């Protein structure tokens, strides 16, 4: 078991902000919003203060939004309410990362709504 000294970690709020904003790549590429934060989190979680907490929150949020989007497809076919769910997912995927990027810049912990805790 490796012991990590908290004093050896550096404070890098700009990297946390970039990690939160990289989720917006989903709107451009369709998949980059999960891959890029995952890579940043896995490479820097032991070097930056708060990276582990922010990274887990982002990955949980992205997986939850992906699950909600997949569940809305059969709901569209059966009930028609899936359209509303899909619109809600789209709005959350755009707004929540921006809000949490501002919070990360201020040094506050992230808050993601409608998130299932996978990690």
pLDDT band at 5 (very low <50, low <70, confident <90, very high): low
For residue 116, tell me if it sits in a domain: no
Q: How much is the CA Rg of the chain, to the nearest whole Å? A: 16
What is the pLDDT at residue 37? Answer: 96
pTM score: 0.89
For residue 50, tell me if it sits in a domain: yes
Per-residue CA distances from 104 to 7, 33, 43, 67, 111 (Å): 20, 17, 18, 25, 10
Q: Which is more confident, 66 or 30?
A: 66
Report whether pLDDT(45) > 80. yes
For residue 55, tell me if it sits in a domain: yes
Report whether pLDDT(7) > 70. no
For residue 56, tell me if it sits in a domain: yes
Residue whose tokens read 């990274």: 55
Cα–Cα distance, 29 to 32 (Å, whole number): 6
Q: What is the domain count for the chain?
A: 1
Cα–Cα distance, 12 to 50 (Å, whole number): 9
For residue 22, tell me if it sits in a domain: yes
For 71-113, what is each residue's pLDDT tens digit? Answer: 999 998 887 889 999 999 999 999 999 999 999 999 999 999 9
Q: For residue 85, what are the domain limits?
A: 10-105
For residue 43, tell me if it sits in a domain: yes
What is the pLDDT at residue 31? Answer: 83
For residue 114, tell me if it sits in a domain: no
For residue 3, tell me if it sits in a domain: no
Cα–Cα distance, 105 to 16 (Å, whole number): 7
Report whether pLDDT(22) > 80. yes
């Amino acid at each position: 078991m490796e012991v990590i000294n908290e004093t050896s970690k550096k404070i890098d709020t700009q990297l946390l902000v970039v990690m939160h904003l990289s989720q917006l790549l989903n709107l451009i590429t369709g998949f980059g919003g999960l891959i890029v934060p995952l890579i940043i989190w896995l490479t820097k979680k032991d070097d930056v203060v708060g990276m582990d907490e922010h990274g887990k929150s982002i990955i949980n949020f992205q997986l939850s939004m992906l699950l909600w989007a997949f569940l809305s497809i059969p709901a569209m076919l059966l009930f028609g309410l899936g359209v509303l769910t899909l619109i809600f997912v789209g709005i959350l995927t755009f707004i929540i990362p921006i809000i949490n990027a501002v919070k990360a810049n201020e040094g506050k912990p992230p808050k993601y709504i409608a998130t299932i805790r996978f990690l």
